[in-house]
Structure 1
């Protein structure tokens, strides 16, 4: 494990960048906000990262107290990586970066990879309240834990239990939400987002 590089500046922003400023680190945090992930799953959802760099970043993040590594009990018996409470504290940092970066999205480039769950954080910023939300796009389904104070804030695939709301929308609408061009309630009112479910979140969206 290589020693941590430092800006050697007595400034909290510089100290934070000493820990999370390396390429890929915050995107690994983005993936682990979905809960424990295997190395192979992380590698699959971080297109462009080499195996050596991913392994190095994960070791650094464990050393710096952002992640833990543990072995699943049989029959899984695989190792998974998970965020520590300090790692999870980076959620508002990622949300602020995402909000700041909205104008940078522009049109999707031919070389741009995309995963359905990458829309999870923008949608979490756009939704108010608390509850389980299932989202269905052409690229696939994912679910959100809106207002969650601990544990995963989103996950791949359908909701693990009956959700408080189901949202069905196309990628163009989800992209518009991610860019800050349209608010979720406005998209619901104009029919761009279909909302089903009997939970408080679903009712609030239909009545907004």
Structure 2
């Protein structure tokens, strides 16, 4: 049973649901679309099988997560954010901006491209909702796609559901340099470190719009 502060305070009640270790990181993973149980287990090294199962069961009770069955998920299906989970996206956005202001983590810390893509999506500026080019990212062999529909930015793991308008292929180091503003698209292309399939202007706009936060906060797109 989850521990409770046994306080009527709204913050305390929210922490009764969300304050346990790993909980918000499960929500983080599901901001990139539905994930199978095994994918969540792999994305959260150290959580353990039993603890993940317990956290998911707890979060299902509050509609933070729910079960779904996307195409190809197999008979066990997958998990996605429920309505109450989607409502947490602005909260995650604030945490990402706040965390970006901390000192750099030790080099032995685990780092994954998916976490950078999540941060880029969560902290994109308000005008990012108008970036309607369906964009496929191939970063060191990992695939992600992003698309804005005028109201929100969507990002998911895997290949784009239809042929993308823009495909960007590069290694992880190049990707990090691009999203941190340390390298221009033109330089990366000229050096053979970035392959752009689609409009080069859209590629420039993408890396101007979707960056890693610098810890100073600012306006962001709607969830």
Point out where structure 2 has 5 or more consecutive residues left out of the alignment. Answer: 210-223
Question: Which of 18, 22, 25 lines up with 1:24 in the alignment?
Answer: 22
Q: CA separation of 1:205/1:69 partners in 2, compared to 1, >3 Å: closer, same or farther?
A: closer
Secondary structure at the counterpart of residue 58 of structure 2: helix
Farther-moved stretch of structure 1 (129-138 vs 89-98): 129-138
**RMSD of aligned alpha carbons:** 3.5
Structure ranking higher on relative contact order (CA contacts 8 Å, 6+ apart): 2
In 2, are the aligned partners of 1:195 and 1:206 still within 8 Å (CA)? no
Secondary structure at the counterpart of residue 17 of structure 1: helix
1:122 to 2:119 alignment: yes
Aligned residues: 200
Q: What is the CA distance between 1:106 and its match in structure 2?
A: 1.6
Distance 1:171 1:93 in 2: 27
Question: Which residue in the other structure is 2:157 paired with?
Answer: 156
Q: What is the CA distance between 1:206 and its match in structure 2?
A: 8.8
Q: What is the CA distance between 1:73 and its match in structure 2?
A: 8.6
In 2, are the aligned partners of 1:188 and 1:194 still within 8 Å (CA)? no
Secondary structure at the counterpart of residue 58 of structure 1: helix
Q: What is the CA distance between 1:177 and its match in structure 2?
A: 6.5
Q: CA separation of 1:55/1:105 partners in 2, compared to 1, >3 Å: closer, same or farther?
A: farther
Question: Which residue in the other structure is 1:96 paired with?
Answer: 94
What is the correspondence of 1:1-208 to structure 2 with a 5 Å cutoff? 2-6=1-5, 8-10=7-9, 12-70=10-68, 76-104=74-102, 106=104, 109-110=107-108, 112-124=109-121, 125-126=123-124, 128=128, 129-131=130-132, 132-138=134-140, 140-146=142-148, 153-175=154-176, 181-182=180-181, 187-188=184-185, 190-191=187-188, 195-198=196-199, 201-202=202-203, 204-205=205-206
Secondary structure at the counterpart of residue 161 of structure 2: coil
In 2, are the aligned partners of 1:146 and 1:153 still within 8 Å (CA)? yes
Q: CA separation of 1:147/1:94 partners in 2, compared to 1, >3 Å: closer, same or farther?
A: farther
Point out where structure 1 has 5 or more consecutive residues left out of the alignment. Answer: none
In 1, are the aligned partners of 2:32 and 2:155 still within 8 Å (CA)? yes
Q: What is the CA distance between 1:194 and its match in structure 2?
A: 5.5
**Length-normalised TM-score, structure 1:** 0.76
Q: What is the CA distance between 1:199 and its match in structure 2?
A: 9.8
In 2, are the aligned partners of 1:137 and 1:171 still within 8 Å (CA)? yes
**Length-normalised TM-score, structure 2:** 0.71
Secondary structure at the counterpart of residue 144 of structure 2: strand
